Structure 1
Amino acid sequence: MPIAPGGDQREPWMQFGGLYRPINDLSQPWVASPVVTTPQTLPPTKSALPVEHRAGSSFSRIPIAQPAIDSGGSNPGTNKRRKGWGLLERFRGSSKRNASGSSTSSVPATESVVNDRVPLAEWKAYGYYACPNVDGVTGAAPWPVPPDVDIQGMFDSLRSVDGDHPERWISGTQHTALPPRPTRWKVPKPHEPLPFPWECQLNPFLEHQLFGPTSLWFDIGQDPSMLCYGTVETMIPISRADRIQPATYPFLTHMFINAIGDDPIQPFLWPFMVRNPEGIKCEDIYNAVYENFQQYVSQSEYYDWPQVRQIQVTKAYRARLSSRSNHNSGFVEGIQRVDYLGDNIMFRGLEPNPNIDGWVMFVGRTW
């Protein structure tokens, strides 16, 4: 990785995640980390690039661009797309009328609503705010801080003779010694139109990597509590602060994951929605992915698949059972959705779906 003079010499994953400096003294004002001057080695914003979409055994580059509008209206496919854009624009409340009174609908631009890429350090800044390391104890509680809270008393209560008590820390506590809330991520407003997927930037932990190890080691078949950093040689559990970083910029309250990359059976059998009215965090996606693929497959679903897929899924199911400690206990469980993925059970990130309707989840083998 190239190093600029005076720049940050850490690996990129340490710039947006990893270790967080502790706050050991409330009398010392918080000082943010120096601005990183190292050129980012992560790929440019996905929304400004063509999306790599794999169908069957061949790749095709499908740009996120303005759909062609045939003024003659003779192409049924074009008419269908035009109607789709009109519905989307009306949904967002952005339909306009021209001078003659006829209705026209704009189409999305090829560029993201954010022209510049979010600096790596700003993702980490939110982790500092949402889950500060206070006196060596990482705490984050879901409720808002009362106005009359005794911050020093809360600070002193984190450690006691019976151990650490991170649950006593109240998330969102404001103090000069604590990291402030980054101004970039605004709290979502109820009923406000959301940006489209191609208008968002994904957290680096969630970006699709075409090659090499990902920033996150996420076996979809295992509980998300087992998550580890993916670009290091040793298994280091991912920190709580990194789990509750924003999943996107700007914040989204809903993300519809409706496709699996390289899946020849279309459409995706089990699309699912990720929700958080306060703004979706990375852990919301990890938990939703795990819970979706933990569901059992019904017999009718199983017998609807091609015979070749049935055989492959059955092999994956038996391999999963043989790796479990309870496979000799007499307990027999059924085929789960994760078995449908075979040995492609490693999460490799997300991309906007080229059909403009959601997100594609990519999976792969252990690198």
Structure 2
Amino acid sequence: MSQAVLNPLLQYSQHDLPGGNRCRIKWDLRQPPCSSAQLIEPDQALSDTELAQHATHPPLNTLQIICGVLPFEWPIIAQNPTGVTIADVLQAIHQNVMVQIKQNEYDALSLKQRNRIAQIFDTRWRASLEPRTIWSFGVLRVDCLLNHSIFAGLTMTIEGTDACIVSLRRVN
């Protein structure tokens, strides 16, 4: 079985691209996928045509996305019976990180981790246009990423799998 190859828009690069990015998509996971932009035109959202492109070649119906930065194994699965698209990938990641963490998960974190996450949460809800609403949702998984919420691309795992690793970078 040959390994699927990622769409160039999603691929992580070891080399700096403009703006210090590592991927051709510029996107902060704290924002909805519709806010993502192509690096060559960062002020213009990805087009519907770009979002509809298959995430891999050949197209896969399921793509598991692994995020080693999150403190728990919260599975990220992008699915599409006609082939996972770039939009499916971004949506799967966003939906996963915008989930409130459970009390037992929060309690399992070290005091240092909880304090750092609480600072990120405080900054997020206070900067919001609707602080009370955001505060009422509580700590989200995205807060556990601390300042690493910028999408830096995907890398396929070993041959024969339908999994890839998401890379993130710090917010400037």
Using the size of structure 2 for normalisation, the TM-score is 0.86
CA displacement at 1:353 relative to structure 2: 3.1
Where does residue 36 of structure 2 map in the other structure? 227
Larger Rg: 1
Specify the code of the residue in structure 2 equivalent to 1:246.
Answer: H
SS at match of 1:274: strand
Q: 2:12 aligns with which of 199, 205, 208?
A: 208
Where does residue 165 of structure 2 map in the other structure? 360
SS at match of 1:284: helix
CA displacement at 1:306 relative to structure 2: 1.9
Q: Does 1:286 align with 2:95?
A: no
Please tell me whether the aligned partners of residues 128 and 134 of structure 2 are also in contact (alpha carbons under 8 angstroms): no
Q: Does 1:314 align with 2:122?
A: no
> Which deviations, in whole Å up to 9, do the C-alpha atoms of 1:49-82 show, x marking residues without a partner?
xxxxxxxxxxxxxxxxxxxxxxxxxxxxxxxxxx
Q: 1:218 aligns with which of 13, 27, 34?
A: 27
Q: 1:257 aligns with which of 65, 83, 88?
A: 65
Where does residue 54 of structure 2 map in the other structure? 246
SS at match of 1:319: helix
Q: 2:105 aligns with which of 290, 301, 320?
A: 301
Are the structure 2 counterparts of residues 301 and 354 from structure 1 closer, same or farther at C-alpha, using a change threshold of 3 Å?
Answer: farther
Distance 1:209 1:365 in 2: 16
SS at match of 1:242: helix
Using the size of structure 1 for normalisation, the TM-score is 0.42
CA displacement at 1:330 relative to structure 2: 9.2
Are the structure 2 counterparts of residues 321 and 264 from structure 1 closer, same or farther at C-alpha, using a change threshold of 3 Å?
Answer: closer
Distance 2:102 2:132 in 1: 24
Identity %: 22
Which is bigger in relative contact order (C-alpha 8 A, separation at least 6)?
2
Are the structure 2 counterparts of residues 331 and 315 from structure 1 closer, same or farther at C-alpha, using a change threshold of 3 Å?
Answer: closer
Please tell me whether the aligned partners of residues 259 and 353 of structure 1 are also in contact (alpha carbons under 8 angstroms): no
CA displacement at 1:355 relative to structure 2: 10
Distance 1:366 1:338 in 2: 13
What is the number of residues matched between the two proteins? Answer: 166
Are the structure 2 counterparts of residues 355 and 241 from structure 1 closer, same or farther at C-alpha, using a change threshold of 3 Å?
Answer: closer
CA displacement at 1:314 relative to structure 2: 0.9
Please tell me whether the aligned partners of residues 274 and 284 of structure 1 are also in contact (alpha carbons under 8 angstroms): yes
Are the structure 2 counterparts of residues 366 and 323 from structure 1 closer, same or farther at C-alpha, using a change threshold of 3 Å?
Answer: same
SS at match of 1:325: coil
> Which deviations, in whole Å up to 9, do the C-alpha atoms of 1:71-111 show, x marking residues without a partner?
xxxxxxxxxxxxxxxxxxxxxxxxxxxxxxxxxxxxx7xxx
> Which deviations, in whole Å up to 9, do the C-alpha atoms of 1:300-352 show, x marking residues without a partner?
00011122211111111111111101115796220000001011111111112
> Which deviations, in whole Å up to 9, do the C-alpha atoms of 1:172-197 show, x marking residues without a partner?
xxxxxxxxxxxxxxxxxxxxxxxxxx
Are the structure 2 counterparts of residues 306 and 285 from structure 1 closer, same or farther at C-alpha, using a change threshold of 3 Å?
Answer: same
Please tell me whether the aligned partners of residues 275 and 284 of structure 1 are also in contact (alpha carbons under 8 angstroms): yes
CA displacement at 1:354 relative to structure 2: 5.3
Higher helix content, 1 or 2: 2
Where does residue 332 of structure 1 map in the other structure? 136
Please report the RMSD computed on the Cα atoms of aligned residues, expressed in angstroms: 2.3
Please tell me whether the aligned partners of residues 204 and 215 of structure 1 are also in contact (alpha carbons under 8 angstroms): yes
Distance 1:264 1:286 in 2: 17
CA displacement at 1:366 relative to structure 2: 3.3
Which consecutive unaligned segments of at least 5 residues does structure 2 have?
A: none
SS at match of 2:137: coil
SS at match of 1:332: helix
> Which deviations, in whole Å up to 9, do the C-alpha atoms of 1:124-183 show, x marking residues without a partner?
xxxxxxxxxxxxxxxxxxxxxxxxxxxxxxxxxxxxxxxxxxxxxxxxxxxxxxxxxxxx
